Each structure stands twice: as C-alpha cells, then as structure tokens.
Amino acid sequence: MTRKIVAAVLLVCLLVVGFRATGPVPPLGPFLDPANGVWGGAAATSFPVIQQLSIDGVQAPVKVLFDDRGVPHIFAASEDDAYRALGYVEARDRLFQMEAQTRAAAGRLSEWAGPRLLDTDRENRSLGLVWGAEKKFASYDKSSPGFKAISAYADGVNFYIAHMRPRDMPVEYRLLNARPIKWQPIYSIYFLSRMSLTLGFNDATVRRLKAQSFVGRAAADALFPVNSPIQQPIQPSGTSEPRFDFAALPDPGKPDSSTVAVARAREAMLNTFAFRKPTETADAIGSNNWAVSAKRTSAGHALLAGDPHLDLSLPSVWYEMHIVVPGRLDVAGVGFPGVPGVVIGFNRDVAWTFTNTGSDVNDYYEETVDDTAHPSRYRLDGQWKQIEKRAEKYFDASGRLLATDTVLFTHRGPLRRELGRWLSMRWTVYDQSHEPDNFMRLGYAKNVSEWLAGMRDYVVPTQNGLVADRSGNIAIRSSGKFPIRPGDGRGDVIRDGSVSASDWVGQLPVEKYPFSLNPAQGFLASANQQPVDPRVNASYMGSDWYSPWRAMRINQLLRADSAMTPDKMRRFQTDPGSARADVFVPFFLASAAHADSVGRSDAALRSAASLLAKWDRRYVRDNRGAVLFEAAMTELATRTWDELRDPKKKPSPGDRLNYPEAQVLVELMRAPTSAWWDDRATPEREDRDAIVSASLRAAYEGVLKTNGAPTTDGWLWSTTRRANINHLLRIPAFSALDIPVQGGPSTLSPSSGAGTQGASWRMVVELGPEVHAWATYPGGQSGAPASVRYKDRLRSWTNGMLDQVLFPKTPGELDHKRVISTLTINPR
C-alpha cells in the first residue's frame, strides 16, 4: 500500500515539474526530452548537408550555400526572394537574439522576465523609442525597396518559426520557458531605433552641467568645449595636423546651483537606462576606419579598413552574409540580425564602413505645464497646447497586466518629470527616416559618387561613412541629420520650452556635412573625433568630442607608409601604440626629474620614473609598463579634477566619468601654476609638477601593493585588461570571459576596464580588378551556444587575424570543399 501511495505522490510531483516551470527551473518534461528537448537541440546546431524547402511568396528557386565560416551565400532571382531567404537563415541562426533585441527596443522584456524588468521596459517606452518607431513605420513608403525588404524578411523569419521542429527551439527560450513570437516588419525599425539610442544619444550636456554646478559656467564650458583643443579632424583641413589649439583654462569658478537640479535630472534619466549608463571613459571605447588611395598602396589599388566598436555580446551584434541577384546586386558584409541587408561591406565595385559621429542630435527643453502633478497642457508662445497622451501597457509571461503608464509628449517629443521639473526631449530619432533604404542602396553603388548619393537623405544615428572604389577613389562624409538651433546654435544647454523660438530651425545641408574626396594626403581616417576643423566649418555639431588619440595614431601610421598593403592595414587594427602615452609619458618623466632636482624625490618616485622611461609605450599582452602608466593616468585625473567632485565624498572609480577628456588635461599641462592643480584636501597650494609626480609615485606604490613586484606576472598587461563577451542573458556558461587582448585605452583597439567593449567587426578590403576582403568578428555565425560556430572566430579576433571572405559570383564558383551546407528554397 505504501508503495502505491509513494508512486501516486511521486507521479503527481513528476507531472507537475514535467509540465510546469518551478521557480527558475523550466518544465522538465519538454526540457529533458532527448528527442524534442534541449538535448535534441544539440543536433540542431549543425545544418543538413543538403536541404530543400518551399516558402510561400518565393517566386523562383533560391540557392543558399553556407561556407565553412558559416556565411550564407544567397543566390536569388530577385531582391524579394533574397531577403525572404535571408529572413529564414538568420532566424535559423539567430532567432533568440533577434527577439531579445526587439523586446529590449520595444519595452517588452517583462513579458519574458516579469516584474523584474518592468522598470527597464517603462523607461524604454517613456523615452519615446516605440512611439517614434511606430510613427516612422506608419509613414514609411510601402512601395520603397526598404519596406519591401523588411516585409519579405519578416515572411522568411515567420516561415522558419512556423516550421521549426521542437528540437530547433533555441536553448534560451527553453530556459525562459518562452516561445518565439511572430515577427513583424516593424521589429526591424524597433531595432534600428535601439541602435540610435546606443550610438545617437549624446550625453555631453549632463557632464557639462554637472561640472557647472561645481565650478561655474565659464570653467565648465572650457572643460567640456565645443571644439577639441587637439585638432585632427576627419575632413583634412589641408594644414599641418594635429594642431594644438590650446587656450588658458579659466580658474574654477563658484558653484552654479541653478544647474544642479537639471544636471541631476538628466543624469537620472540616463541612469535609468542601465545599458546607456556610461561605464567607460572615452579612452576605452571607439571605432576606427581609414582608406588609402591607390597611389599610396603597394599594389596600386585602393584599400579600406573598418572596425566599428560596440558593446561586445554573444551572439555577435553582426551577421555576415553575401547576397547575389544576378545582374543587379552582389553585396557581401555584415548586417544586424533582425534587419535585412548589408550595413557594412562591399560589392564588386565599392567598399564602405562607418564610425559613429557622436554629434549632438538630442536637446532638452524645460516646459511650463498647467498642472505640475498631472499636466494635460503645456505653454507655447503664450498659448496652452494639448499634451499628447499614450497609454503603455505592460504584461508578464502569462499575459497578466503588470502596469499601465501614460506617457506624455509635446510637439518636441517625450515629456518627463525629473526632480520636479518637466523636461521634454527633441531627438532626430523621432523624425521621419528610412535607414533600411539607405543601407540597401549602398549595395548597388558602382562608385564613390553613387555611394554618397545613397546616403544623402540618411538621418540617424549620424555616421562617418568611408567609401573606396575600384577606380582608386576614396571619400568620407559624416552623414545624418545635424539640427540647426537658434541663437548661439548650441545643443548642450537646456532651452526654454515655453517659446517656439527655442525649437530647431532646420538642418545642415548635405553640402555642409564634413566631407573629403581624394585628399592630397592620399588617405582618410576617422575615429570618433571632431569631424571638421572649426576654422574650416564652424557649424555646431556637438561638443566634448573624444580626444583624437586614435585618429592621431592612424594618421601617423598612414603618413609614414606610402606602400600600404592589406596585411599592414590588418596589423594597424590592433596596433598597440598610443598617441596618448606619447603625449603624457614625457610629462611624468619631466615631473619626476623636477622633483629630483629640487630634492623632493624619493626611492618610489625614482623607481617609477625609471620603469616608465624604459616603457616602449606598447600595449601588448606581455608588456610590463602599461599597467604603471594607466595607474598614473587614473591618479592624475583624480588628483587634478578634485574640483569636480563633492568634497564631502571620497573619490570613487565612477568619478572618472565626470572628468574632462584627456586632451583638456594636456591643455592644462601648459599652465604649471593653474589653480586647477591645487589639491583642495591639503593646506598647501600644489602646482603641476607636484601633482604629476605625486600621481606617478602613488601609482607605483599602488600597483606594487596590489600586483606585487614589477617582475611578477601582476605587472603584465594581460593580467589587468581582458575582454569579457557576455551572452545576451549574461549567462556565464554561454559567455566568453577573461580573454587577454592586445590594446589599451586610446590604442586603435582600445580595451576597456570591464572588457565589454571592443571591435565588433574588423574588415580590410582591397579594391583591385577583383575585390578581395578579409574580416572577422568576436563570435560566430550561430546563435546556439553549443554550436561549433558560436564563437569559432574568437581566436582570430583575439590575435588580430582576419579570415579571407569568400566572394563567389556564382554558386559554381564557390570551392565545393568549403561548402558545409546547401539549402534550396523553392516556390510553394
């Protein structure tokens, strides 16, 4: 009898845990099922060698050959068929990632994770991204190639979802106990809006306002200037560069308490977006691209290189593809899973890549509302205007309503209450645009001019588009909508929302965009620096630009070599040299020598100076000098910018995010007795040499204490800086962590402190009679963590190597030994 009772109770328990999730544990039945569950998914990580299927809407057979790098070569009779096939294969490889990104952009993560992510969803929607994307989608020209492509792509994705076997379900869905949702064409627009948040959300205002609250307006303006004090612009100015446009920094002024609330409000707004919250200084992040004209290359063909840097993730943010529509389109490169087409890549005639411009395209307005608690109207030019209200509903996984918010909008954009003030935001991402069409057009370009024409009406996020063609031409243009503001034209201030005179008055004409075609120097480069010399074009495009260390280094390398090769370009992408170190090391050494000469030196300072003097300024993995230099730079910034911290609080690592760019520190170096050098915590008045030498000494003692003697492994660069590539769900078992990498702050492949930023794609293209390309990215084509193609490119990426990209004109031209799978998609 007991046996039967035990069996009955156990059966009930097994059926419960079999059918239902228990806490974080998914339903065990479908999970453990070796035929249809997670184990069966292991079999689904590899493709059948030959596969045939029929998809609704396909007009003619499509052949998709997967090469041994996992890249699909799609041969189709029309673009429509090609994008339908692309939707299918991207869903097969990256379905979970596509949906995760869409949910993040659409503020629907709580439908997976419940109340835990409700706040994130609320903030996402209150920023107006969904509102903007829906407006954009509704007004999208339905007959445009871009719209047709996202529709065909959605069909392909949905065909895959509808016909996937249970075992094909990505493991993440099983862990979340979720099922894929039907793909809508608007999801591609959601994703692009999210990229605009990543790349086109300028936070210069908040740093300047915070500084203003401590040291007044004049000092804050100088610390976070509109124009870089070191000029190495993207558009060569024709004069000797870099140019050091140094001015005397005004002394710290009186705190400006009027900005405290606004600064905090802005900061609060930024901080609510965990993924937008800055965690790295500009020295640790950044993208590069450069091109060399035919006359400066060894083979006499133009060369182009690009390495856009983004948050690193597994699966990778990119998916590599090759799309051929005979007689019309033959384009290869990478695009975003979830958005059809190649964003960065090449065709038979041109190659292109982007870096982020980082221009100021979002502004804030302080609004006057009729009711500070529950406003329904806002004041504009003496009249009350109705506030647009939008109900946002949030559900959990079971469909239960978690919350309903009313999001408010003025004619400018979302209206939010921050610390008692009502701020509305104007942002180019809310404006009508059609990026899918822009990106698609690039694939058809036959030369540089056609490529530039394809980007003429591009809007957001602003990008430095670099292009080279087979005729040896090279060009670069910073493209996108650059708003023109009234008055002084600056966007890094909070404007009065009660008058329409505060609104944008237009946008910069394309002819005024930073641009260069075939410059006399024979090369072009961009690395997120200020795009144009203000002496050439004084239009306001932004402020607080990244220090141009990487740009200086690229220019230095390219200027020194008039016989460039693809392999040299590849090596430059992970070049360990640092213009920043070249500038700062002499200051440290001079201050140590000065301390010696006035009898203020000691053994620690002398040892530190000796080590630094021997340092070759290269951030290679086995280097032992970089650790000391970086510690000294951190000390220097902390000691110099003490005026920008709350004196009642102890310095914290996060403070560095509020300090000015290192180029401003160089500017200050010219004033050895400036009041900025004084350490407020001491009764004495320090000067430059005292602070610089004290920083070096403290750095040496600190590294000695934490890392051991200079001869130990603790001083190896590889022990301190590592890449950490997290899975989208931050599951360590699906991530690639602790990877020693070459490069440091401000090198061409900057490695950040957290190691979560880096080159998301590296590409070199040679535009000869035949186009040759080499590329890699940190990850692999498959989104399945157990797949051999999940992170198979990580090794080449870590070592700065590139794989040759296969670029066959026909299916028959692809070496059959390198084909791992053939998929034929027939009309249904």
Question: Does residue 44 bind another protein (CB under 8 A)?
Answer: yes
**Nearest alpha carbon to residue 469 among 454, 450, 494:** 450
**Nearest alpha carbon to residue 359 among 497, 498, 128, 537:** 537
* Nearer residue to another protein within complex by CB, 549 or 790: 790
Q: Tokens representing 443?
A: 């694939």
Piece of 21-29, 388-396, 600-608, 736-744 that binds another protein (CB under 8 A): 21-29
Q: What angle do CA 286, 426, 130 make, to 5 degrees?
A: 80
Piece of 3-11, 354-362, 659-667, 675-683 that binds another protein (CB under 8 A): 3-11
* Nearer residue to another protein within complex by CB, 7 or 563: 7
* Nearer residue to another protein within complex by CB, 113 or 270: 113
Q: Tokens representing 487?
A: 């008055």
* Nearer residue to another protein within complex by CB, 18 or 489: 18
Phi first, then psi: what are they for 121, rounded to 5°?
A: -60, -45
Matching residue, tokens 């809006």:
193
Site for another protein in 766-805 (CB under 8 A): 785-788
- Which listed residue (37, 497, 566, 744) binds another protein by CB under 8 A? 37
Question: Does residue 36 bind another protein (CB under 8 A)?
Answer: yes
User: Is 247:667 a contact under the CB 8 Å cutoff?
Assistant: yes
**Minimum CB separation from another protein for residue 35, in Å?**
4
**Minimum CB separation from another protein for residue 310, in Å?**
24
Residues in contact with another protein, shown as a per-residue x/- string from 45 to 84 under the rule CB under 8 A:
xx--------------------------------------
* Nearer residue to another protein within complex by CB, 25 or 675: 25
Piece of 17-25, 116-124, 145-153, 368-376 that binds another protein (CB under 8 A): 17-25
CA pair distance 26, 552, nearest whole angstrom: 53
Residues in contact with another protein, shown as a per-residue x/- string from 158 to 197 under the rule CB under 8 A:
--------x----x---x----------------------
**Minimum CB separation from another protein for residue 22, in Å?**
12
Using CA atoms, how far residue 338 sits from 19, 101, 199, 526, 658, in Å, is 32, 8, 18, 28, 35
Piece of 9-17, 557-565, 679-687, 763-771 that binds another protein (CB under 8 A): 9-17
Question: Does residue 274 bind another protein (CB under 8 A)?
Answer: no
**Minimum CB separation from another protein for residue 41, in Å?**
7
CA pair distance 523, 516, nearest whole angstrom: 10
- Which listed residue (653, 654, 732, 827) binds another protein by CB under 8 A? 732
Piece of 8-16, 337-345, 532-540, 759-767 that binds another protein (CB under 8 A): 8-16
Piece of 23-31, 196-204, 423-431, 569-577 that binds another protein (CB under 8 A): 23-31
- Which listed residue (38, 76, 105, 636) binds another protein by CB under 8 A? 38
Q: What angle do CA 282, 288, 294 make, to 5 degrees?
A: 155
Matching residue, tokens 């009027």:
258
- Which listed residue (373, 391, 709, 733) binds another protein by CB under 8 A? 733
Conformational region of residue 369, where left means phi above 0, alpha means psi within -120 to 50, and beta covers everything else: beta
CA pair distance 677, 643, nearest whole angstrom: 10
**Nearest alpha carbon to residue 746 among 308, 284, 305, 311:** 284
Number of residues that bind another protein (CB under 8 A): 40
CA pair distance 212, 582, nearest whole angstrom: 31
User: Is 392:404 a contact under the CB 8 Å cutoff?
Assistant: yes
Q: Tokens representing 242?
A: 């870099």
Residues in contact with another protein, shown as a per-residue x/- string from 377 to 416 under the rule CB under 8 A:
----------------------------------------
Residue 477 is classified by DSSP as E
Provide the CA 387 distance to its chain's centre, in angstroms. 33
CA pair distance 160, 96, nearest whole angstrom: 13
Instruction: Name the amino acid, one letter, at 270.
Output: L
Question: Does residue 734 bind another protein (CB under 8 A)?
Answer: yes
* Nearer residue to another protein within complex by CB, 485 or 791: 791
Piece of 2-10, 56-64, 425-433, 464-472 that binds another protein (CB under 8 A): 2-10
Instruction: Name the amino acid, one letter, at 191.
Output: F
Matching residue, tokens 């087979």:
470
- Which listed residue (11, 247, 248, 598) binds another protein by CB under 8 A? 11
Question: Does residue 35 bind another protein (CB under 8 A)?
Answer: yes
- Which listed residue (42, 397, 499, 593) binds another protein by CB under 8 A? 42
**Nearest alpha carbon to residue 101 among 170, 196, 190:** 190
CA pair distance 324, 310, nearest whole angstrom: 28
- Which listed residue (18, 57, 255, 811) binds another protein by CB under 8 A? 18
Q: Tokens representing 377?
A: 């109207």
Residue 127 is classified by DSSP as T
User: Is 364:423 a contact under the CB 8 Å cutoff?
Assistant: yes
Question: Does residue 43 bind another protein (CB under 8 A)?
Answer: yes
**Minimum CB separation from another protein for residue 42, in Å?**
3
Q: Crossing angle, helix 626-640 and helix 662-669, to 10 degrees?
A: 70
**Minimum CB separation from another protein for residue 368, in Å?**
52
Residues that bind another protein in the complex, under the rule CB under 8 A: 3-4, 7-8, 10-11, 14-15, 18-19, 25, 28-30, 32-46, 166, 171, 175, 731-734, 785-788
